[in-house]
Copies of this chain bind each other. A is one copy, B any other.
């Protein structure tokens, strides 16, 4: 084991990440773990962070989708989140966030994703604070006590876990809050990673038909390969009215039972309301960054008696479910196949640029 680790650090917004070197702790504290990173996913959120669209305590080591092998375990770390025995050398992943378990949202309202003290690897830790290595874009990561660790079974490739990334856990949480019932018709707005994951989750929940809207063409092809019944190009159907007509040609003249917004641009929300049938459901999963306001007619919500559900992040139990479903189904292969680009740690800026320009399926760093 090395005594130092390289890490890609976001030091200034919209500027290249810097590769810096930090010491790897000799011995992790009680409950902690030190992990050699095998693969780190580049999430769309990382691009938002890079652009400064979310407030974070830079300088920060990015990377919140990570698989690695345990190199050192602190006292008391004997089992993973599921109770499986852990040992040095085990391949693991972990839920990116840690919550306090004590605040108003954790305790009284059981909304842990809204914990007032929630911190996420690759997002919430200033690299200047020891032990420095709190992000996945690095050779080593130093995990806090209280992290939700998951030992990966040999049957589950690292590529499947990172190919699914936090998009899958986000979609599982979102469609838990806004559930698809067997037989439903579903529209997924957006064919980025969250859209692909929402498509997978909706199909798995027994949707009769899932229509996606998005682009570019290679993403629509990927959606069809994943099982979408129809894929509507936003490049071909350039207005909300045209897209609505194309969607209704697939789902019928009343609209879809469930619409899942995975776009991120505010305009997707009023457009999505119009794609729901009356009495239908609308999951707003994509509005992670604050991209501003949009004109929206709330009469639609009353008149169509809609159910609109937001969802933020995910809990460790969604990571558990994601890993179980990946291992038990053909998702294993389908999500692994999302990975189209691999980069060394030193190529991190090229990697981010690739994601920013929508050129990849899923891009990963192999540090």
On whether A285 and B312 interact (CB within 8 A), knowing A103-B83, A182-B325, A321-B183, the answer reads no
The contact size tier of chain A is 35 or more
Interface string of A85-106 (1 = CB under 8 A from B): 0000000000000000111110
Chain B contacts for A270, CB-based, 8 A: 293
- In the complex, the answer to whether A302 meets B324 with C-beta atoms within 8 Å is no
Q: Cα distance A108–B299 when bound, in Å?
A: 24
Stretch at the interface among A64-72, A156-164, A202-210, A348-356: A202-210
Chain B contacts for A177, CB-based, 8 A: 305, 307
Q: Does A287 contact B (CB under 8 A)?
A: yes
The B-contacting residues of A in range 163-222, CB under 8 angstroms, are: 177, 182-183, 201, 204-206, 208-209
Q: How many copies of this chain sit in the oligomeric assembly?
A: 4
Chain B contacts for A206, CB-based, 8 A: 204-206
Chain B contacts for A278, CB-based, 8 A: 105, 109, 111, 114, 312
Chain B contacts for A82, CB-based, 8 A: 107-108
Q: Does A277 contact B (CB under 8 A)?
A: yes
- In the complex, the answer to whether A302 meets B279 with C-beta atoms within 8 Å is no
Interface string of A103-127 (1 = CB under 8 A from B): 1110111110110000000000000
Contact of A324 among B109, B208, B311 (CB under 8 A): B208
Q: Does A22 contact B (CB under 8 A)?
A: no
Q: Cα distance A310–B306 when bound, in Å?
A: 5
Q: Does A81 contact B (CB under 8 A)?
A: yes
- In the complex, the answer to whether B301 meets A292 with C-beta atoms within 8 Å is no
The 27 listed contacts between A and B (C-beta, < 8 Å) are A81-B107, A83-B103, A104-B254, A105-B254, A108-B320, A109-B278, A113-B305, A114-B304, A182-B204, A205-B206, A208-B324, A270-B293, A284-B301, A284-B302, A288-B303, A290-B299, A290-B303, A292-B297, A293-B295, A300-B310, A301-B308, A302-B312, A305-B310, A306-B308, A306-B310, A307-B309, A308-B309
A-B interface, 10 closest residue pairs, ranked by CB to CB distance from nearest: A111-B279, A287-B302, A301-B310, A308-B308, A269-B298, A114-B278, A293-B295, A293-B297, A302-B310, A290-B299
